[in-house]
Amino acid sequence: MTAASAEQRDEPIVSVRDLQVRFQTSDRRATVKAVDGVNFDVRRGETFGIIGESGSGKTTIGRALVFLLNPSAGAILHDGIDPMALSRREFQNHRRDYQIIFQDPNAALNPRMTILASVLEPLELAGVGSRIERERQAREALERVGLPQEFGERYPHQLSGGQKQRVVIARALTLKPKLIVCDEVVAALDMSIRGDVLNLFADLQRDLGLTYVFITHDLAVVSHISERVAVMYLGQFVELGPTEEVAERPLHPYTIALLSAEPRPLPSSMRQESRIVLQGEVPSPIDPPAGCRFRTRCPHAQPLCTERVPEWRELKPDHWVACHFADRPNYLPNVPERTP
């Protein structure tokens, strides 16, 4: 099957089925279940957000999506095809369509290479066109991300953080990808320029028809940019749905707590009346709690939550959740008083 026919049939650009990624700890004694059974599709042209706390497995999913690491189990299909089944050469060509950008632009840019040389590099590695053609494409990419021509001759240390992140975006764009995984791409940027870079992502998506998987721990960023959002906890999705739904009518107790914990720059007259402060911290992914993984911190946990793993179900159209009690209106019995 070719990619073109997949597009015509409106196949998801990425399908993830029962994805598991495990790592050996450095002493090789234990296994970290970094991603443990995740299912989702990314639709063509959308921005799919993934939020979750540190260590929940977001980066690992992102790396697996672009085959920077191999799943331990499960499948990832690109346009309906399994890239693992391609020949080596086909695979190298294929993966240009799926790029990833990380948080730290300094780590992505060689300090001894000019900006233009950095942007040219992926084109050279891929052996695209003639030298002149490659340079034209690289300059075009720099222009696309709003950097003036003369920046090509500069070195990374002569650029600000936001400008460096633009270079990294330009670099990813040269290969004309279909999908870009953006892992915490604005986290290292100062607040006054964060908006600029987010606007740039939106412009590029509109002009080039890009699909994004937008990974962040920042709720404000994810709800600004994504059409749909998945909430991750300890290697699993606990909720997935349209951003407005998840942000305004969340179904999972963890999502509710996360939204409530987000500090909001609002005057006191507009602050929410009470907030849910979760106890404790995220347990280790080496030995996650049996049953529902959130039960050790969940204010509504019941005996059933220890006994059975909650099913991943579509409770409302397009809105998925993994909680035994999410379908009961006011399922929350008395919220216990917090011990001082």
Partner 1 sequence: MAAGPPAQRRTEVARDGAQPLLSVRGLGIRFKTTQGIWQATRRIDFDIAPGERVGIVGESGCGKTITGLSILRLLPGNFAGLDGKILFDGTDLASCSARQMRAIRGKRIAMIFQEPMSALDPVFTVGHQIAETLRVHTDVSYEEARAKTLEMLRRVGIASPERRIDDYPHQLSGGMRQRVMIAASLICGPQLLIADEPTTALDVTVQAQILELLRDISETSKTALMLITHDLGVVAETCTRMITMYAGEVIEDATVDEALVRPLHPYTSGLLRSLPHLSPRHGRLPSIPGRVPSIAEMPAGCRFRARCAHAAEGCEAEQKLQDAGGGRKVRCWRFAELNLPGALHPPETPTAAKVATQ
Ligand X SMILES: Nc1ncnc2c1ncn2[C@@H]1O[C@H](COP(=O)(O)OP(=O)(O)OP(=O)(O)O)[C@@H](O)[C@H]1O
What residue ranges bind ligand SF4 (CB under 6 A)? 253, 292, 294-295, 298, 300-302, 305, 310, 323-325
Strands 228-233 and 179-183, by their bridges, are unpaired
Do 174 and 160 form a contact (C-beta atoms < 8 A)?
no
Q: Judged by CB, which is closer to ligand SF4: 219, or 234?
A: 234
Distance CA(17)–CA(19), nearest Å, equals 5
| 3-class secondary structure, 133 | helix
Q: Judged by CB, which is closer to partner 1: 117, or 202?
A: 202
| Range 253-292, binding ligand X (CB under 6 A) | 285
| Short-list 51, 104, 34, CA closest to 218 | 51
Distance CA(303)–CA(95), nearest Å, equals 46
Asked if residue 60 binds Mg ion (CB under 5 A), the reply is no
Strands 319-321 and 313-316, by their bridges, are antiparallel
Asked if residue 336 binds partner 1 (CB under 8 A), the reply is yes
| Short-list 334, 326, 269, CA closest to 299 | 334
Residue from the set 208, 286, 304, 335 that interacts with partner 1 by CB under 8 A: 335
Asked if residue 224 binds partner 1 (CB under 8 A), the reply is yes
Asked if residue 59 binds Mg ion (CB under 5 A), the reply is yes
Residue from the set 32, 100, 185, 251 that interacts with ligand X by CB under 6 A: 32
Query: Which of ligand X, partner 1, Mg ion, none lies near 149, with the C-beta cut-off 5 to 8 A by kind?
Result: none
Binding pattern for the stretch 195-224 against ligand X, x by CB under 6 A and - elsewhere: ----------------------x-------
Q: Judged by CB, which is closer to partner 1: 71, or 156?
A: 156
Q: How far is CA 190 from the centre of its chain?
A: 20
Tally the residues of the chain. 340
Strands 236-242 and 211-216, by their bridges, are unpaired
CB of 225 to partner 1, least distance (A): 7
Residue listed under structure tokens 């606007």: 199
Distance CA(17)–CA(30), nearest Å, equals 25
Task: Note the residues at the interface with partner 1 (CB under 8 A).
Answer: 53-54, 160, 162, 190-196, 198-199, 202, 217, 219-221, 223-225, 243-244, 247-248, 257-279, 281-282, 297, 299, 335-338
Task: Note the residues at the interface with ligand X (CB under 6 A).
Answer: 23, 32, 34, 52, 54-60, 217, 285
